C-alpha cells in the first residue's frame, strides 16, 4: 500500500495507555504524530510504549503493508499542537482536566482545526463550553487496544458542525477505523452499557460469590462475551474504569455506577490491571 500522502501531522495529548496506542495507530498509518504530555516520566517512556504497540500491531497484521511509518516527536506543552491538522485529547477521564486541556489546545490552533476528545463518557456538549469554537469539537471513543479494534464510537455534540463531522470521518478513514455516530450524553452507548456490567461483575467477586476466573468463564462460555468482564476491566485499566464510573454516577445519579469498593481498593493498592502487572489477574510474568 502506498504512503498516505494526505496524512498531515496530528497532535495527541496524553501519553498514557490510550494516548500511546492512538499515537501508534496513527504512526502505523503514516501520520506524523506530536505526542504531548506535561509529565517528564510519561514523555520519556512514550517512545518505548509506542514502539511496543507498533510491534504488536504489525505482528497481528492490523497495520497497512508497505506504508512508511510516521515520525513520533514528544513535547511538554500544548504549543506543540500548532500547525497540526487535527488534535486528539486523550488525558484521564476527568471532565475538568479534559476541559482545561481542550481550552489550551483551542488557544494554539486556528478555528476550523478538528478537535477530538477521546472519552468514554464525558458529554461533548459539556466539554464544548471550554472552547471558543465548539463547532470544531467532536468525541471519539477509541476502544483499547486502538490498533486492534477497528470500530469506534463517534459523538457529535449539540454544537458540532457538519465540517467537523466530515473531518472526523476523513481522519478515521485514514486510520482504517469505522466510526458509528451516537447521540451525546453520559457514557454514550458502549460505556453506558458496559461499565454497569463491569461494576456488577466486580461486586459479584467482592461478595465472594465467584472468583474472577469463574465470572469470566461463565460470561465467555455461556453468554459469548469475548474476554470476560474482569479481564476487560484489567485491559481498560482499573483506575480508568473507576474514573469513568465516577463520571457516570455523577452525571446520571444511578447508584449502579457507583464504583465498587473492591475496585477502589485495588486502585488504592496500585493494582491497575495489565499496565501495572496486576489487577484481577497477575500479568507480571508476561511483562518481563
Angle between helices 261-268 and 238-252 (to 10 degrees): 140
Residue identified by cell 470521518 is 169
At residue 223, the pLDDT reads 96
Quote the CA–CA distance of 267 and 171 in Å, as a whole number. Answer: 34
pLDDT at 3: 43
Residue 7's pLDDT is what? 66
Identify the pLDDT of residue 66: 86
Q: What is the pLDDT, as a whole number, of residue 2?
A: 40
Q: Are 144 and 273 in contact (CB under 8 A)?
A: no
Mind listing the domains of the chain with CATH numbers?
Answer: 10-182 (3.40.50.720), 190-280 (1.10.1040.10)
Backbone angles phi and psi of 80, in degrees to 5:
-65, -15
| Placement of cell 468525541 in the chain | 139
Q: What is the 3-state secondary structure (H, E, C) of 62-124?
A: CCCCCCCCCCEEEECCHHHHCCCCEEEECCCCCHHHHHHHHHHHHCCCCCCCEEEEECCCCCH
pLDDT tens string, the chain, 288 residues long: the values are 344 444 689 999 999 999 999 999 999 999 999 999 999 999 999 999 999 999 999 999 999 988 899 999 999 999 999 999 999 999 999 999 999 999 999 999 999 999 999 999 999 999 999 999 999 999 999 998 899 999 999 999 999 999 999 999 999 999 999 999 999 999 999 999 999 999 999 999 999 999 999 999 999 999 999 999 999 999 999 999 999 999 999 999 999 999 999 999 999 999 999 999 999 999 976 555
Tell me, what's the pLDDT at 1? 36
Closest CA to 257 of 196, 193, 202, 187: 196
Amino acid at each position: 500500500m502506498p504512503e498516505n500522502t494526505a496524512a498531515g501531522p496530528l497532535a495527541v495529548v496524553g501519553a498514557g495507555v490510550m494516548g500511546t496506542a492512538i499515537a501508534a495507530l496513527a504512526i502505523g498509518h503514516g501520520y506524523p504524530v506530536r505526542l504531548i504530555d506535561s509529565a517528564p516520566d510519561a514523555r520519556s517512556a512514550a517512545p518505548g510504549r509506542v514502539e511496543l504497540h507498533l510491534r504488536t500491531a504489525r505482528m497481528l497484521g492490523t497495520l497497512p503493508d508497505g506504508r512508511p511509518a510516521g515520525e513520533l516527536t514528544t513535547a511538554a506543552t500544548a504549543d506543540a499542537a500548532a500547525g497540526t491538522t487535527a488534535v486528539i485529547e486523550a488525558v484521564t477521564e476527568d471532565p475538568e482536566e479534559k476541559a482545561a486541556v481542550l481550552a489550551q489546545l483551542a488557544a494554539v490552533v486556528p478555528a476550523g482545526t478538528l478537535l477530538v476528545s477521546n472519552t468514554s463518557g464525558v458529554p461533548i456538549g459539556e466539554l464544548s463550553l471550554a472552547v471558543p469554537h465548539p463547532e470544531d469539537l467532536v468525541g471519539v471513543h477509541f476502544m483499547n487496544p486502538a490498533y486492534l479494534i477497528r470500530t469506534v464510537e463517534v459523538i457529535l455534540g449539540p454544537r458540532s458542525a457538519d465540517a467537523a463531522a466530515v473531518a472526523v470521518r476523513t481522519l478515521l478513514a485514514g486510520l482504517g477505523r469505522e466510526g458509528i455516530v451516537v447521540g451525546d450524553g453520559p457514557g454514550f452507548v458502549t460505556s453506558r452499557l458496559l461499565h454497569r456490567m463491569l461494576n456488577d461483575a466486580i461486586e459479584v467477586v467482592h461478595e465472594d460469590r465467584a472468583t474472577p476466573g469463574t465470572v469470566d468463564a461463565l460470561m465467555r462460555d455461556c453468554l459469548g462475551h469475548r474476554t470476560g468482564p474482569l479481564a476487560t476491566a484489567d485491559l481498560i485499566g482499573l483506575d480508568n474504569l473507576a474514573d469513568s464510573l465516577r463520571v457516570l454516577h455523577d452525571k446520571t445519579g444511578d447508584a449502579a455506577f457507583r464504583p465498587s469498593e473492591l475496585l477502589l481498593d485495588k486502585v488504592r493498592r496500585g493494582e491497575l490491571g495489565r499496565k501495572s502487572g496486576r489487577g484481577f489477574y497477575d500479568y507480571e510474568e508476561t511483562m518481563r
